[in-house]
Amino acid sequence: MPEQNGGPAGSSRDPAEAAALLLSGLQYAVFERTAPERFLQVNAAPAWFERLQQRTAEGPPVALARQFSALEGFLPTAEACWASGSETPLQSDFFTETDLDGNEYHLLAVAVTTGGRHFLAIERADATYVNHEQLQIYAREMVNLYETIIQLNREVEQATQAKSQFLATMSHEMRTPLNAMLGMADLLAETELDSDQRRYVGIFQRAGANLLGLINDILDLSKVEAGHLELESVEFDLAETIGRVLELTRVRASAKGLELESTFADEVPRVLVGDPLRLRQILLNLLGNAMKFTDAGRLEVRVGQDPEDPAPGALQFQVRDTGIGIPPEKLESIFENFSQADSSTTRKYGGTGLGLAISKRLVGLMGGRIWVESEPGQGSTFLFTVRMGVSDRPALEASPDDAARKPAEPAPLPPSHILLADDSEDNRFLMGEYLKHSACTLDFAENGEIALSKMKSRHYDLVLMDAHMPMMDGYTATQAMRVWEQRHGQPPLPILALTADAFKEAADQSAAAGCNAHLTKPIDKATLVEAVRRYALKCRRSPERSFAGTPAGPVQTAAVVAPPAGPEGAVRTGPAPRHDSSLAALAPRYLKNMTKELKALRDAEAAKDDATVQRIGHNLHGNGASFGFPRFTDLGAELEQAAKEGRWHEIHRAVERFAGYLEQVLESSAERE
């Protein structure tokens, strides 16, 4: 019969010996704690442990802390665990020991309490250690990668902010002189010109319009990439929208002898909900691109249901041409920024390649995609899809005579008293010229403080407020005006921000300050007149405003005589009013202002007044080239930047160069006279 201890009959082996033998086979060195820091080995030591023990001549009871220095930190914790009576094993960190031959062993120590006795087991854990170390490496790599990603994100955000700030600044700086250039070209076109002069002015206007279009394209692309471009959601008539697109391109198409038409599928809804302005921009970009590369034949716009999406409002647009076509290897790259099918096309046909890149991004915002099908010499078809809402409102039926009917002449502006706040004398002069032959009365303010003072003491129907002015900027002045109106129970006065800042953030800032609208420079005469017509009338319908003070002086006016009216209030047609004297005097007047600015610069330099130098430099930079003096623009940029950084030696050199150049210009002008 088997013995009670479970061993075979007649066995002389002790179960404790069997357990010790098993522990040795498992490569454990097991010790029982006999006293603090004193241990008695329980099992026969594994071979690896014997090799480590050969480093010392000390025998049992073994002082393990002297044999394995790594245990010095672990044993106090083990003692506390044993004292607590906890039977939960306590494991040390990995530690490494080396035998007399230089071999390394990766070890673990485990403290255990069982049956009221305390044990310490030392395990050789090379494989476990390697896996542990590998996991540690992976963990460290993940942490480093995560930190790198965070840092890159910060850098991208900083770069995006810097790019947005740069574009906002460049937009302001480019639009300010462009405002004067295009404005003066429009005014000059209204005078009596001979055929050569009219051709020159036409070239001037087209070049300025192309430059403005390029600025707008760059800003649109930046807005889309930065996620700042938001689509509208309004009801619009699809046929009317496409009709306007064709109307805008028909003149150019006719000049090249191209046919232009559009086709609508029967299932296409006529009244949609979306952003008609951006849809029109896409179609104008595609038609303009098609027209540029098509010398003969026709252009066609087709609209139908998206064949891959049966949902109402899911549409497919096609713009077809009979132009030069596109090589297969270029079909994808043409939608990238500044890309064209052939690098030589930029020189031959003009353009920057931004139109298609912007169209691709706008189409993406509308939930669609864009692509092109083309063969060299066989023309091209640009296709894009969009997803829009469908309105229940019926479309307006177009009359057969609508296409031939000319738009009605706008009614003349009613008498309106307008306050224009702008620190640029040249911009004030331009706005005055725009309204010179209207019934509008203009009062000028050179900064926000003056504008606020005049607003408190006089009646105005409208305020045109430049955003960036010395002393008090336009935003602060607008906020102060709104506070004053509330305190005195006055109805809100229409205030229109007039600035070269074209970014959404600037428009948001204008709205937050209390402006009714945000007009972006360069502003043409028609836009200004329409803004006056729209907003000044609102104030004239409101109750009369009362004022705490009285006028401080005579009001400056642009003009007080309205154009003569014909039968039934229609504006008479005929030659535009002459104002050659104003334009002829423009350059001498500007140079006279430059003489004053030179004196102000010298005074500011002597007083170390960097704010004045920066302001004058900013105005020179914005207006010099507009009046035919690009050197003033360059010197203005130098002065502005040097003043920002306080580099007075560079300011002095720039002032002297400015004085020398002004003297040359004045001498040249005197010789011509």
Between the CA of residue 654 and those of 614, 627, 638, 641, 664, what are the distances in Å?
12, 20, 7, 11, 15
pLDDT at 81 over 80: yes
d(CA 12, CA 2): 12
Q: What's the residue count for the chain?
A: 673
154 vs 53: CA distance, rounded Å: 55
- Give the model's confidence band at 538: pLDDT under 50 very low, under 70 low, under 90 confident, else very high: low
**pLDDT, tens only, 583-604:** 334 567 777 888 888 888 988 8
DSSP output for 382-441: EEEEEE-EE--SPPPPPPTTTTTPPPPPPPPPPPEEEEEE-S-HHHHHHHHHHTTTSSEE
Residue 8 has pLDDT above 80, yes or no: no
> DSSP assignment of 499-551, as one string?
ES--SHHHHHHHHHHT-SEEEESS--HHHHHHHHHHHHHHHHHSPPP--SS--
Average pLDDT for 339-348 = 44
Cα-Cα-Cα-Cα dihedral sign, residues 665, 666, 670, 673 = positive
**Helix or strand or coil: residue 107?**
strand
pLDDT top residue among 196 and 624: 196
Q: What is the pTM of this model?
A: 0.41
- Average pLDDT along the chain: 76
Pick the range with the lowest mean pLDDT from 49-53, 445-449, 566-570, 583-587.
566-570
* 580-to-193, 252, 502, 574 alpha-carbon distances in Å: 10, 31, 32, 17
Residue 27: alpha-carbon gap to chain centroid: 66
Q: Of 529, 514, 603, 539, nearest to 563 (Cα)?
A: 529
558 pLDDT band (50/70/90 cuts)?
Answer: very low
Q: Judging by DSSP bridges, how do beta strands 28-35 and 38-41 pair with one another?
A: antiparallel
Q: Using CA of residue 322, residue 328, residue 334, residue 340, what is the dihedral sign?
A: negative
**pLDDT score recorded for residue 387:** 94
Cβ proximity of 471 and 459 under 8 Å: no
Strands 389-390 and 271-274: antiparallel
Q: What is the DSSP annotation of 266-305?
A: TTS-SEEEE-HHHHHHHHHHHHHHHHHT-SSSEEEEEEEE
pLDDT at 217 (0 to 100):
64
Residue 322 exposed, middle or buried by CB count within 10 Å (0-12, 13-18, 19+): buried
495: left (phi over 0), alpha (psi -120 to 50) or beta: beta
Higher pLDDT among residues 272 and 51, named by residue: 272
Burial of 494 (0-12, 13-18, 19+ CB in 10 A): buried
Q: Do 600 and 657 form a contact (C-beta atoms < 8 A)?
A: no
Task: Map residue 578 onto helix, strand or coil.
Answer: coil
The residue among 634, 641, 646 whose CA lies nearest residue 610 is 646
In DSSP terms, which residues pair with 383 in a beta bridge? 318, 371
Q: What is the pLDDT of residue 307?
A: 92
In this structure, what token pair is assigned to residue 245?
A: 């697109």
Highest mean pLDDT among 177-191, 397-411, 442-456, 589-603: 442-456
Residue % of the chain over a pLDDT of 70: 73
Are 171 and 215 in contact by the 8 Å Cβ rule? The answer is yes
Is the pLDDT confidence value at 662 over 90?
no
What whole-number distance in Å separates Cα of residue 319 and Cα of residue 283? 8
Spatial distance between the Cα atoms of 441 and 556, rounded to a whole number of angstroms: 7
Whether the CA torsion 539, 543, 549, 555 is positive or negative: it is positive
- The C-alpha angle with vertex 378 and arms to 377 and 380, in degrees rounded to 5, equals 110
Mind giving me the DSSP string for 173-186?
A: HHHHHHHHHHHHHH
